[in-house]
Structure formats: C-alpha cells, structure tokens
Amino acid sequence: MKKVLYFGIALCTMVLGFTSCNDDNDALSDTTLTYYVDLQLQGEEFTLVPLGTAYTDAGCKAELSGEDYSSHMVVEGLSDVDVNKVGFYDITYSAVNPDGYPASVSRTVCVYDPTVTTSIEGSYQPDMAATKYGTKGNTFADYAAAYGNTSQCTGITFTEEAPGIYSVSDIFAGWYDQIRAYGAKYRMTGYVNLDAENNIHLLSSFISGWGDGLDYLENGKYDPETGQITYNVSYAGQIFMDIVLNKE
C-alpha cells in the first residue's frame, strides 16, 4: 500500500513538473514583432537662412512597413522659426507606431545676418589683470595666484558655425575649468552672434557639470583693431564676471 502511495505522489510530481515546463515554454514563445516608423528627413539637417528671408521647410516623410504613415506624424517648432531674429531654431518630426513605440528626427534652422563680414574666429586668452570675478574688483590674476592651478588661462576658442555665429568653448574664460581646476565639465559652452556693429550677443549657453546656463551676457564687444573681446556675464544670480579676451 505504501509503495502504491509513493508511486502516486511521484507520478503527480512528474505531471506537475511537465505542466510547469510547458507553461514556461508557452510564455517564452509568446513574442510580439513591432516595426518602428521610418522617418525620412527631406532637405538638410542644418539649414542656413539669411536674416529677413522667407523660410520654406523641406518637410519629412514617414513610412511604416513600406506604407505611407505621414498622416500620423507630428511636427513641432516650425512656427517658432523667426526669420527676423538671428539664432538657432529646432524643428522636430515624430511619430508613434501602433504598439506605442516613438521615433523622431530633427532639423536645425540657423538664421544669420549676411551683412556681417568681420570674423572673430580663433583662440583667445583672458587678460588676467583686467578680467574680474565678483563685485569687489578682484582679478583672475589674484585668484590664479591664490589657487595656484594656473597663472594664465588659455585656449578660449570661437568657432564660426555660420556667418556671424560662433560656438564658444568656455564663456567663463577658464574660471572653473582652469583656475578652479574643476575640469572640462565646468566650462560654460555656448553660442554667440556678432552683429554688423561688432556687438556680441548671447544665443545660448550650457554648463554640463550643473546642467544650466547663464543668466545673461551683456555689453559684448569686439574691437577689430586690437582683436580684443569684452563682455559681462551673470550666473546663478550671484556670480558675476567682467571678461577681457585677447586673440592669441
């Protein structure tokens, strides 16, 4: 009797085990194949538009499994393009497939002033005795001597991205990167534009170490006779700098 009982328990265990394995296999084989929307940007990814000139967007095509899917596409940023204001404008085209998976592509429209012929491209270094940090008149030279990380900040580059528009490697002129030795993550990168009167204006700024940008850049000026750039900046409502840069 005991042998029959033990055999029955063993048989039940085997049946349960096989059932469990079959359930697992069914779950593993229950997969879903999805197709992402294929977004095909028409025209250039980076488009230059002269100031005051009408802009016509080249658009974007959307396909799903080889079929036209453009009616499901959403376009954002197109109405924000202001051809009467120098700057960068991003246009994003996006679509979601029936399973809820998104796809997107983007285009940058750069409105520039073609009347600007002066170039400020090149490498600069701060005038350590004239560039100031804070409101007490202390210079970069004062702080460099105190911190001992550098005696002269160098390699502040302005790179022309479009006529009159430049990317800047460090709007802070080496303050956090070189004098404080925080490293490259604490450079205030950004874009500026030079107008026909040699005034410099901030377009955008970003410091990756803290994830934000400047409060403002004002009084920006380029002197073509001396090759000197000057401007004042404010950051986080409490950090102020008067920057003087000389071309290397």
pLDDT in tens, 68-110: 999 999 999 999 999 999 999 999 999 999 999 999 999 999 9
pTM over 0.75: yes
Cα–Cα nearest to 49, from 108, 131, 92, 124: 108
Instruction: Find residue 244's DSSP bridge partners.
Output: 230
Domain of 42, in residue numbers: 38-112
We report the CATH number of the domain holding residue 173 as 2.40.128
User: pLDDT band at residue 21, thresholds of 50, 70 and 90?
Assistant: very low
| pLDDT at residue 6 in the model | 39
User: pLDDT band at residue 13, thresholds of 50, 70 and 90?
Assistant: very low
Number of CB atoms found within 10 A of residue 149's CB: 15
Same domain, 107 and 150: no
Query: Is residue 211 exposed (0-12), middle (13-18) or buried (19+ Cβ within 10 Å)?
Result: exposed
| pLDDT at residue 4 in the model | 38
Alpha carbon dihedral 142, 145, 149, 152, in 10-degree steps, equals 70
Q: Does 143 fall in a domain?
A: yes
The answer to whether residue 28 scores a pLDDT higher than 70 is: no
Same domain, 128 and 237: yes
Sign (positive or negative) of CA dihedral 136, 140, 142, 145? positive
Same domain, 78 and 137: no
The answer to whether residue 62 scores a pLDDT higher than 90 is: yes
pLDDT in tens, 109-155: 999 999 999 999 999 999 999 999 999 999 999 999 999 999 999 99
- Mapped onto helix, strand or coil, the DSSP state of residue 105 is strand
| pLDDT at residue 31 in the model | 65
We report the CATH number of the domain holding residue 68 as 2.60.40.10
Q: Does 26 fall in a domain?
A: no
Q: Does 20 fall in a domain?
A: no
* Residue that finishes a domain, picked among 82, 112, 142: 112
User: How many domains is the chain partitioned into structurally?
Assistant: 2
| pLDDT at residue 26 in the model | 47
Q: How far is CA 229 from CA 60, 89, 128, 178, 201, in A?
A: 41, 26, 13, 19, 12
* Residue that finishes a domain, picked among 62, 84, 112: 112
Same domain, 137 and 178: yes
Same domain, 127 and 234: yes
Same domain, 82 and 167: no
Distance CA 109, CA 87 (A): 8
Instruction: Find residue 156's DSSP bridge partners.
Output: 124
